Chain A
Amino acid sequence: ETGVTQSPTHLIKTRGQQVTLRCSSQSGHNTVSWYQQALGQGPQFIFQYYREEENGRGNFPPRFSGLQFPNYSSELNVNALELDDSALYLCASSSTAGDDTQYFGPGTRLTVL
């Protein structure tokens, strides 16, 4: 086990709703990255948080937002859900004091109807 946990495991929402996904980083890790993985695709980088600040962002609209807390856990918020937001959302934690290797959580499967 890598120690990265995510909640919830599965989630079903309807178009226009808002959703919050949660991630607890591995012990000792201070950086959390979020990815969207559509079926049959590789993970697409959404954003990364380090020391509670956004530290890089991929090509995702502003309705995707996040937070990192003092204990390094993180939230991903998605507003105004669209059908195309249906995907597996992965978080990965890493340590800037180590080799930056990312360790993934089990993911949250989001279905938008």
Chain B
Amino acid sequence: GENVEQHPSTLSVQEGDSAVIKCTYSDSASNYFPWYKQELGKRPQLIIDIRSNVGEKKDQRIAVTLNKTAKHFSLHITETQPEDSAVYFCAASKPGGSYIPTFGRGTSLIVHP
């Protein structure tokens, strides 16, 4: 089955810096890669996603890049703010039935004011 590795497990940055979280996946058939943000005690919230027909997608301060050849994708957050502090999860899924994502283990992002 699919295996998703996520790094780093913890990321500490100063407010205003950029943050990058990287994920690799094992199944070359995977074609949908969402990113979720989970604040303490709350549900995971979808923040951005990318499909395999594009290499990059941006939404304000957040961007995701995908390299299908290398089977890795990354989340980029620019101009970080304290409210960006949360656990971020990447996931990968493949077509051929209902979407069943495999999640990474999460990255705890801490933004210091």
Contacts and interface: CB of A to CB of B under 8 A. Distances in A.
B43 A104 contact: yes
* Interface residue range, chain A: 20 to 34
Given A101-B46, A104-B44, A96 B98 contact: yes
* Interface residue range, chain B: 20 to 34
A102 B99 contact: yes
B26 to A, nearest CB: 15
B43 A42 contact: no
A90 B103 CA distance: 13
Contact of A94 (B6, B97, B99, B103): B99
Nearest to A47: B100
B46 A41 contact: no
B27 to A, nearest CB: 14
A56 B98 contact: yes
Interface in B82-108: 89, 91, 93, 97-106
Contacts of A104: 36, 43-45
Nearest to A44: B103
Given A31-B98, A55-B97, A100-B99, A42 B32 contact: no
Contacts of A56: 97-98, 100
| Residue of B34, B36, B101 most packed against chain A (CB within 10 A) | B101
Contacts of B97: 55-56
B54 to A, nearest CB: 14
Interface of B: 6, 32, 34, 36, 42-46, 49, 89, 91, 93, 97-106
17 contacts: A42-B6, A42-B89, A42-B91, A42-B103, A42-B105, A43-B44, A45-B100, A45-B101, A55-B97, A55-B98, A56-B98, A100-B93, A100-B98, A101-B46, A102-B46, A103-B46, A104-B36
